[in-house]
Amino acid sequence: MRSRADRRLTAERALRGIAFAAMAVLAWRLSIGQPSADRTHVTSGSLDSALVRWSASAPKWATIDADTIPGSRQRDWLVALRRTGTTITWSASDSSGGAVTVEQGPLTGSLHRVTALAVAGHDVVLSDDLGTIDTARTGPDGIASWRASPIGQARVALGQANAASAARDSLIVRPVLVIGQAGWESRFVVTALEEDGWSVMARLTVAPGALVRQGPAVRIDTAELSAVVVLDSNSTVDASELSRFVREGGGIVASGAGANHPAVRALVALRPAPFRFQRDAAQISQYPVSFEASPGAIGALLGPAPREGLSARTFGLRAGSVALERRGDATVVLARRVESGRVIVVGYDDTWRLRMVPASESAPEAHRAWWSSLVAGAVYVRPVPRDAAPVDEAPLASTISALGPPSALGGPVPDMPLPWDAVLAAGAAASLLAQWLSRRMRGVA
């Protein structure tokens, strides 16, 4: 039977053999140039040079630890590498993300609407090819918006990330026809629209059977008009012609007494008078919208919300209608889609007073902007695509779509490959140390 000393001596020889074998394998790996790890780690400053290097010899997988979100060119390069078998993980110290869009204005030469999405309470800078345009702070919903005409691309600096966008379409807008009685309301509606750049035709009644026209006589058709503004309830309008115009994509804005025009009521199913004591439930269901008179608040014309001082018709909504503006719980401006077109019904009477009271230099501008926005929401326009250069409207969303979520936000992180060189070196050292301790305990070391 072997003694305890013999067993210890055999163990020491085995440990010595393991150490020599590990060192031999380690020396062989080093002699053939075996890399010590299969993971390559780069930062923002070295990413471009790393991409060039990886194109010649791609690593098994790569980790990008960036200061900001990779740009569109870098993303495309990384996607191409991933398709060759390289596993890509990424993170960014500034991953606030964000996006920017540019919406074409309704008129040639009109201001575009630029909208940026970022972190709430974040400072954002809007610029174009000529330089900085404006700065703004996002609201509690994380949105900042401008009315501007960027030259080239609109860029928004979001921390260390930059989003860029450009208007994608040009719009063909035809004239707007205003129908009503000759008076202050018709005059200033036409004036407001013309001042904002709309091409306006008018058909105004001055006496029974007597019309005054601005511009040539036109058919109510989408080939000639973009929208029709109806300002009174008595003008002669072919209801079938108006109905066909809307259903083919045209827009109608009926304001004041125009909301009670029979042709408009037929389109939006507007109830012609309030039913305070309704006995027939079926009669209610056939009128999705009803209206009642609402006097304006005394002194409100001189306040910060002058439209509150106007007499108005308020509407009770039913299915299929959307409230655009309210007075208390009642709707004053509503919209309804009719097949391909839109109908906007405005309950305010005598909106021209907004231009005169309060006696403010900005009152005409506010009246003009309000009327232009109503018409812009209803007009029939035909977009013509532009030849626009590629833009990076949402850097964070595009990067997540291309490469997956960043590891800092819980994205999948591949298992680290086993560092064989370190394992071999550690095994050799541990074996030699164990052998030395054993010999020391026997008193021969």
pLDDT at 284: 35
**Is-contact 135 126, C-beta < 8 A?**
yes
Residues 6+ apart with CB under 8 A from 217: none
Q: Is 242 exposed, middle or buried (0-12, 13-18, 19+ CB in 10 A)?
A: buried
pLDDT at 421: 67
**Residue 338 three-state SS:** strand
The dihedral sign for the CA sequence 175, 176, 180, 185: negative
Residue 89 bridge partners (DSSP): 63
Residue 126 bridge partners (DSSP): 134, 156
pLDDT at 388: 64
- Beta strands 200-207 and 210-214, pairing class: antiparallel
pLDDT at 50: 83
pTM beyond 0.75: the answer is: no
Q: How far is CA 381 from CA 169, 214, 375, 384, in A?
A: 11, 22, 11, 10
pLDDT at 415: 46
pLDDT at 444: 66
pLDDT at 159: 64
pLDDT at 170: 62
How many of the other CB atoms lie within 10 Å of CB of 423? 12
Does 171-385 match 99-168+387-393 at the fold level?
no
Give the Cα separation of 356 and 396 in Å (integer): 48
User: What residue segments make up the domains of the chain, in order of their start?
Assistant: 4-94+397-442, 99-168+387-393, 171-385
pLDDT at 191: 92
- Beta strands 330-338 and 321-327, pairing class: antiparallel
pLDDT at 291: 59
pLDDT at 97: 64
pLDDT at 279: 36
pLDDT at 91: 79
Which candidate, 204, 298, 312, 209, places its Cα nearest to that of 257?
A: 312
Letter for the amino acid at 165? S
Residues in the chain, pLDDT under 50: 33-37, 272-289, 409-417
**Residue 414 three-state SS:** coil
* Mean of per-residue pLDDT scores for the chain: 78
Name the CATH topology of 171-385.
Answer: Rossmann fold (3.40.50)
Mark residue 284 as left, alpha or beta (left: phi above 0; alpha: psi -120 to 50; beta: remaining). alpha
Name the CATH topology of 99-168+387-393.
Answer: Immunoglobulin-like (2.60.40)
